[in-house]
Structure 1
Amino acid sequence: MQQQETPLFKKGTQPRRLVAPDGVPASVLLVDDNPAKLAALAAVIADMGLEVTTATSGREALRLLLQRDFAVILLDVKMPVMDGFETATLIHGRPKSAHTPIIFVTAEAGKDSERFRGYTSGAVDYILSPIVTEVLCAKIRVFVDLFYLQRQLAMQTEELQQSKLLLRQLASYQEHIKEEERKRIARDIHDELGQSLLALRIDVSMLHARTRAMHPRLNEKAGEALNHIDTAIRSVRAIINDLRPPVLDLGLQAAIEWQLEEFRQRSGIDCTMQAKDADAHCDLDEKRATTLFRIAQESLSNITRHAQATQVHVELYREGRRLYLRIKDNGVGMADQKKLNSFGLVGMKERVSMLGGELKIDSAPGKGTVLTIAMPLD
């Protein structure tokens, strides 16, 4: 009497189709040495909206896994040459497919020891024949949903990185526009207002000289006017220097030395500077030099307002293809570590980061603050 073959499927309902987040359907790998079973399984899974790839041996499955990723693998246990256990062990032994879920498909429940062997070789589940369509689809759906979630997370991560890059580019462009606008305003003030004040001073100076003997009261008024004009000229020069000091054209070292002297005169704080490899700034482009100058300017301003320091020491030196600017004070330090993430310091870090550099702050209560910037020369 001929033994009746166990049917592969029990009757079930039509499986629900899965929709990929990017429109690209997930791939499922079916491995079985029986072509008829492969065709039947493929027909059911294809109705779920998935892409199906088949292999008739473990070796063929391993070759396919080198070419692409699969959301889940349905693997027959009993196959000639290389059975399902060996195949699963080799699949999870390769880094590319180490975490690919494997579901064993078998017609026999087997012993507990055999099932334990299956789980230890990498299987996440078993499906027994005859297969209930709903059960098969439900188990596949779990792993495909997880695969789609991972893909969606990767897409969102990439979008986030692109958004961060775009924001940095916009911020960099904004800084560029601000510096260009500062230069334009400084140039206009120098060429228009500065020259007008200079011409006015010449005329008033001549008036002051000619009225010295004949018109004492007019001469006195002319002298007062000269003082007012000189004050206005000094104010204009200060504004121009704040917008973009001409000394920056002589290089970063000269600009910072000038800045420190101005800071010392205003604050009375003792300032020293040490520069190594004086030609290092020659390899620094204008954008990076201006950024370092502005950060030094803001740091000195912060020292005046918060540090209660009596000494400031600045170092400018080069190591390899990086230029370092270190600003150290002997002030009260930062007792509140939240200040390290204040708006001003975060803004400094962003401006340095946009140019490929790094900014580090070391501070402790009563031990002062050290701000170190590493800026690439390239």
Structure 2
Amino acid sequence: MTEIVKFLLVDDLEENLLALEALLASDGLELHKAGSGEEALELMLRNEYALALLDVQMPGMGGFELAEIMRANARSRHIPIIFVTAGSGDSARRFHGYEAGAVDFIQKPIEADILRSKSKVFLDLFVQRQKIISQRDKLANAASALQAADKQKNQFLAVLAHELRNPLAVLSSGLSLMETPIDGVDKDAVRTSMRQNLRHMTRLVDDLLDINRIERGQILLRKERILLGDILPSALEIAMPAIESAGHTLVVNSLNDPMLLEVDPTRFIQIVGNIVSNAARYTPAGGRIEVSVSHSKDRAVITVSDSGVGIPDAQQSIIFDMFGQSDNARGVSGGGLGIGLALVKQLVELHDGDIRLVRSAPGEGSTFEVRLPLAA
């Protein structure tokens, strides 16, 4: 039992309260004492009780009257009530008590075993009720998460269909042009377009397969000790088609100090290539992309900045989530399935590194930072 259970003891005589407290004291049970009905009502406003033991005969507000008020209040009507009485146990009196909301009576002088036995029943019922409420809330949260996941899945499938249909249409049209003898058709341009769209489709499928492998724990890193300066050009080369087609300027700032990494070269190229390609896609034509390399203690730091459309504040928390592609305020569509940064994050973490969004604002571009451990 992790939550403290509370009982309310109400009696106008302090010695009676002390006696009840001594009889009921146990680990995990918190006993609150009230010397009047009014004091008891104040306590009920601030606490949730598993049981209330009320003295029937109290000056001012008696036990029956207090019980009737409790039953009329939504916050306290569920609290089980046991009346403690030294008076007559005749049927009329008991009927009045039950009518007021009692679940039981205990006669004075109190028999300790009977009191403990009856109290334990309500303590156990309260604990079970709290567990049921907790399970209900967990089920409600799980149902809500499933609904959100289902909605996200449907959105993803719609985007996937769109992303695959466009390249397929280009490939189909390109094949028709290649097979039909039409004058004036630039077949080299057609082939170039077909290759570009084929690469796009291949990238989509590869990203999906990589995400699936990572989630199933099936990606094995083939690490090598390699100089950052030797591998960075290969990573940037992946993004060059997107940079050149948009007329971007690429600036690379690197340190003269050699930095030795222990990474999977293929995955490192994938990490940096995806980030720079992402920057190129979300930067309007003729923009600037800057890649800087530095080190901090035992980490190599790779920073990628762009002059792109930026990410609204409300969407910055989801960019590393699966399918968390950001909308943008200037209408530049990055394409893709919105899984690029999610894949990069998982690959970076497989290398015991981290990635973060340093800054971003609509119309002012974005800056991402990847930190990877230096080789020992």
TM-score range, shorter chain: 0.3 to 0.5
**Which of the two has higher C-alpha Rg?**
1
Greater helix content: 1
Question: Could you tell me the TM-score, scaled by structure 2's length?
Answer: 0.46
Question: Could you tell me the TM-score, scaled by structure 1's length?
Answer: 0.46
